[in-house]
Amino acid sequence: MDAVWILPVLLVLPLLLWTSSTFVFYFKKCFYVAYMMLLAVIAIPICILKSGGRDIENMRVIRFMVRHVKYFLGLRFQVSGWEHLQTDGPYVIISNHQSSLDVLGMMEVLPDRCSTIAKKELLWAGTVGMICWLGGIVFINRKKTSDAKNVMSDAAKTMLADKIRLWVFPEGTRNQNGGLLPFKKGAFHLAIQAQGLTADDVTLLSEQSFGIMRSAFLEISGQSVQSNGPSTH
Ligand SMILES: CCCCC/C=C\C/C=C\CCCCCCCC(=O)SCCNC(=O)CCNC(=O)[C@H](O)C(C)(C)COP(=O)(O)OP(=O)(O)OC[C@H]1O[C@@H](n2cnc3c(N)ncnc32)[C@H](O)[C@@H]1OP(=O)(O)O
Ligand SMILES: CCCCCCCC/C=C\CCCCCCCC(=O)OC[C@@H](O)COP(=O)(O)O
């Protein structure tokens, strides 16, 4: 008798999924978070057994395990220019940041030995936080610029010494306003060290990168005509 309420739920759920794009959106959003948490539960022991702890090689495990998630959400990616990432040595990748779904795009193209810069709050996101730590993600305190700069300076040294790559979201936060936020400078301070440039090059590099990304963003956005629900996710 206790299970009597299950019947209406089983009937209403498909109905809502069929009739309401808003419901579908929030359903997918909850599924995404729960499924990523679950994947992380599986990935954590694998990473520990494979690498013994925090190690950038764990990003291969994460990448492999995350790549199929797009199918559940009805997402597909079109990749161009991937060959430019197939080069030796350290470099910095920058991308815009609209939502937590960006992680799926990131895993689609993430090169070997590449980790990312993330806000320190992510460390406390349950199993996802733990897998981020195991993957060598560099956590910064955005509220304390001097601390963040110190952490990024250390990351730059590791990047050069161990020939790793770093992925940075230079807007510094998620943004869904239909454009790009002004870039923070940290990514470009990293990049000059990877490329043997000087601090004088930071502003120009940042401005050029912003211009290129903005053009590409607007071009791609112009092609996007489909919406599955509320714009915020
Ligand atoms: C198997 C299951 C898996 C389940 C889980 C799946 C996946 C998980 C695994 C991986 C995915 C992880 C994805 C994580 C995504 C997380 C994304 C984020 O968290 S985005 C938010 C964090 N990122 C950032 O903030 C971007 C980096 N920030 C910066 O670079 C900033 O510059 C800053 C260092 C924080 C400082 O910011 P500030 O607001 O103070 O502004 P400015 O940039 O203008 O800088 C001020 C001033 O300082 C100078 N500066 C900056 N950096 C440096 C530096 N490194 N060295 C020297 N000087 C620096 C800058 O030039 C400015 O000075 P001036 O104006 O004179 O030029
Ligand atoms: C203890 C339970 C805590 C639950 C927390 C759930 C955490 C999310 C879980 C699964 C999502 C999949 C991994 C995605 C990681 C992406 C992180 C992300 O996108 O963070 C936002 C950050 O870039 C910028 O933050 P703000 O826009 O400044 O804010």
Over residues 212-222, the mean pLDDT reads: 89
Atom 3, ligand 2: residue with shortest CA distance: 125
The amino acid present at 92, given as its one-letter code, is V
Atom 47, ligand 1: residue with shortest CA distance: 185
Over residues 39-57, the mean pLDDT reads: 97
pLDDT of residue 5: 79
pLDDT of residue 223: 58
The structural domains of the chain, with segments of one domain joined by +, span 7-221
Distance from Cα 40 to the centre of ligand 2, integer Å: 13
Q: Contact, 115 vs 167, CB < 8 A?
A: yes
Give the number of whichever ligand sits closest to the CA of residue 47: 1
Quote the crossing angle between the two packed helices 58-66 and 21-51, to the nearest 10°.
150
Nearest to 117, CA basis, from 187, 175, 203:
187
Distance from Cα 47 to the centre of ligand 1, integer Å: 26
**Is the distance from the beta carbon of residue 174 to the nearest atom of ligand 2 less than 6 Å?**
yes
- Provide the 3-class DSSP secondary structure of residue 138: strand
Task: Give the DSSP H or E segment for 92.
Answer: strand 92-94
Q: Judge whether residue 226 has pLDDT over 50.
A: no
Band of pLDDT at residue 1, cut at 50, 70 and 90? low
Map tokens 């190690």 to a residue. Answer: 55
**Is the distance from the beta carbon of residue 176 to the nearest atom of ligand 2 less than 6 Å?**
no
Atom 1, ligand 2: residue with shortest CA distance: 126
Band of pLDDT at residue 225, cut at 50, 70 and 90? very low
**Is the distance from the beta carbon of residue 131 to the nearest atom of ligand 1 less than 6 Å?**
yes
pLDDT tens for residues 106-148?
A: 999 999 999 999 999 999 999 999 999 999 999 999 999 999 9
The amino acid present at 190, given as its one-letter code, is L
Q: Judge whether residue 227 has pLDDT over 80.
A: no
Q: Which residues contact 15 (CB under 8 A, 6 or more apart)?
A: none
Q: Contact, 156 vs 189, CB < 8 A?
A: yes
- Spatial distance between the Cα atoms of 92 and 76, rounded to a whole number of angstroms: 25
Q: Contact, 180 vs 210, CB < 8 A?
A: yes
Q: How many whole angstroms from its chain centre is CA 44?
A: 18
